Every structure is written in C-alpha cells, then in structure tokens.
C-alpha cells in the first residue's frame, strides 16, 4: 500500500540520496553527498521558508518524493507552489507514485486557499516526465528560464 506523508528528520539521508540520483539522471551532475545532506537537513528544519518534502512510501520504504517551495506573486496576491526534487525510484516508476504525490500537493494547495498555481521545472528533453505532468493537467508556460550562477 502506498502512503503519502511529510518528511521527518530521520528521512534526510534518503531524500539527499534521491536528490543525488536525480541530479545525475537529469543533468549528469554529481552532487557532493555532504552538501546534499546539509541542504535537505536545512530545508527540513525550516519548511515554511525552505520547502516542505512530501514522501511516497511503501511500508517504511521511501519510493518517491517532491519538495514544495513557495513564491509570492505581488501581481496576483497569492502563492505559487513550486515542485522541486521530484524523484521516483527507478523500480517504482510507472506505478502512479508521482500521481499520488501530486494529488496530495494539489489537495493541500487548494485547502490553503491562497495558492494560485502549481509549477515545476522540467528538462526540455525529458519527454516521459513532460507527458506525465501533462496527464495531470499541467500545461507549458510561455517562459524560458534564465539564471546566473553565483557559486
């Protein structure tokens, strides 16, 4: 049976490892294990400002995750909830894990009453992920992302 729950402090190592696997799979980027762990620990200790983790579990095993971070819109007087660190363990893909995570995030966003939209970044070439998100009702935006690395 699949359950969705909020992360606990004891989950940090698994979340950090999933983040490392995600970075390698999606960007061929190797994350430093200690930095990945301290980042997850910092977010878990301050979910209101740094993001809340939703975990999909089969029994005690974490099989999927996503983090929700917040962006305030002064134009629309409400919040955007950004889904980040979306990961489902390879052997559990295609089983509705992300669908269940997304449904829980959507329920919480609607219950909050001041969330404008759910958003996420997706790699341009990750067609399977794009198809999954579109099946859940997400649509492509008209924005391109730009950034400047400061580290």
Per-residue pLDDT tens for 34-93?
A: 999 999 999 999 999 999 999 999 999 999 999 999 999 999 999 999 999 999 999 999
High-pLDDT (> 70) share of the chain, %: 100
Tell me, letter by letter, the H, E, C secondary structure of 36-62. Answer: HHHHHHHHHHCHHHHCEEEEEEECCEE
In the predicted model, what is the mean pLDDT of the chain? Answer: 96
What is the CATH number assigned to the segment(s) 2-135?
3.40.630.30
Quick: pLDDT tens for 27-44: 999 999 999 999 999 999
- Identify the three-state secondary structure at position 18: helix
For residue 131, CA distances in Å to 11, 50, 68, 106, 146 come to 29, 28, 21, 18, 23
| Closest to 84 (Cα-Cα) out of 43, 115, 116 | 43
pLDDT in tens, 109-127: 999 999 999 999 998 888 9
In the prediction, which pLDDT does 151 show?
86
Residue 14 near residue 7, CB atoms below 8 Å: no
Residue with tokens 């099946």: 135
Query: pTM of this prediction?
Result: 0.93
Q: Collapsing DSSP states into helix, strand and coil, what is residue 7?
A: coil
For the chain, give every domain's residue range. 2-135
């Amino acid at each position: 049976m699949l359950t969705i729950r909020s992360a606990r402090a004891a989950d940090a190592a698994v979340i950090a490892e999933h983040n490392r696997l995600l970075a390698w799979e999606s960007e061929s980027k190797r994350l430093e294990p200690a930095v990945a762990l301290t980042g997850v620990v910092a977010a878990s200790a301050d979910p209101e400002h740094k993001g809340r983790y939703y975990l999909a579990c089969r029994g005690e095993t974490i099989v999927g995750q996503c983090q929700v971070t917040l962006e305030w819109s002064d134009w629309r007087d409400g919040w955007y909830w950004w889904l980040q660190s979306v990961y489902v363990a390879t052997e559990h893909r295609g089983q509705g894990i992300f669908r269940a995570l997304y449904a829980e995030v959507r329920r919480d966003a609607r219950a909050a009453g001041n969330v404008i939209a759910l958003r996420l970044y997706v790699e341009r070439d990750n067609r399977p992920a794009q198809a999954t998100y579109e099946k859940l009702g997400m649509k492509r935006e008209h924005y391109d992302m730009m950034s400047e690395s400061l580290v």
